[in-house]
Structure 1
Amino acid sequence: MTSSLPLLLLALCSLSAAEAQLTVFNLRASDLPSGIVVTTDGYVKVFCGSASLGETSVRNNDPNPWWEEKFTYFQGQENDVLRLEVHDSDIFFNDLLGVCQRQINFMREHDCFLESGGLLHYSYTLNGNNQ
């Protein structure tokens, strides 16, 4: 009769190395900069480490947009870098308004001041064995 202890240890080790589900949501901005003639057409690109999680829809002519999209990443881990890029959509090229970047930790809501002006607020959860 063979022992099942090695298999049990292997299963436990693989569980402890498992990754968690990161969900980014509740993205909203305030006081985005406007040009002389037009108001910002803002959208946000979301990244975790080197993985692109997608981008929001464009909110036309709105200096205080709110986006309904949620972004999920199943390989997230505590201390991964979460990066959000706020852009202004234009006909010929899109302007980068600012970047919010921080390590995923116990803080779940953040406000980030953008380089070109304005503020981005976002929330996230990290569910799994890493929390």
Structure 2
Amino acid sequence: MISLCKSSCEAMASSLPLLLLVLCSLSVAQCQLRLFNLRATGLPSDLLGTTDGYVKVFCGADTLGKTSVRNDNANPWWEEEFTYFKAQENEVMRLEVHDSDLLFDDLLGVCQRQLKLGTYEHDCYLEKGGTLHYTYTFG
């Protein structure tokens, strides 16, 4: 079976000329990205107390959304899952961890990952302290 996300148009040309015509007209094959199991440990406290954390999710130039805010929790877990159907291999997924405050939200750190086919679990160490853990499936 040929993986449409991974195979180039040239590789398919010799064995599937008709399919080649159709697929190459789409320019770049796109795949589904699924991001889930978002959790953090050891988020730092600020002057107002324990972190009120949330995560913003981006893929390439597109915003996929953000999680709910977990109030007063240095070790939050978010139930939200994010699915994106226009992702491309080697595109960058970016996760921004924020502390929600009354006037301005503080950016605690940014995690960036180049998308690869498969399922992966990652830990990302945040600039201002703490770790973001997440899982993604791409393909």
Residue type of the alignment partner of 2:33 = L
Say yes or no: does 1:114 pair with 2:122: no
The SS at the match of 2:22 is helix
CA distance in 2, matches of 1:53, 1:31: 25
Aligned to 1:81: 92
Matching residue within 56, 64, 83 for 2:75: 64
| Deviation for aligned residue 1:36 | 4.3
Matching residue within 13, 37, 59 for 2:24: 13
1:53-108 Cα offsets, whole Å, 9 max, x none, are: 00000000000000010111111111000100000000111000000012012561
CA distance in 2, matches of 1:126, 1:98: 23
How many positions carry a matched residue from both structures? 123
The SS at the match of 1:10 is helix
Aligned to 2:11: none
> What is the percent sequence identity of the aligned residues?
69
Matching residue within 120, 123, 127 for 2:135: 123
| Deviation for aligned residue 1:12 | 4.3
Aligned to 2:102: 91
For residues 20-39 of structure 1, the aligned pairs below 5 Å read 20-39=31-50
TM-score (norm 2): 0.81
Shift in alpha-carbon separation, 1:8–1:66, aligned structure 2, 3 A? closer
Q: Structure 2: state its 5+ residue gaps.
A: 1-15
| Residue pair 2:23, 2:29 contacting (<8 A) in 1 also | no
1:99-124 Cα offsets, whole Å, 9 max, x none, are: 00120125611100000000000111
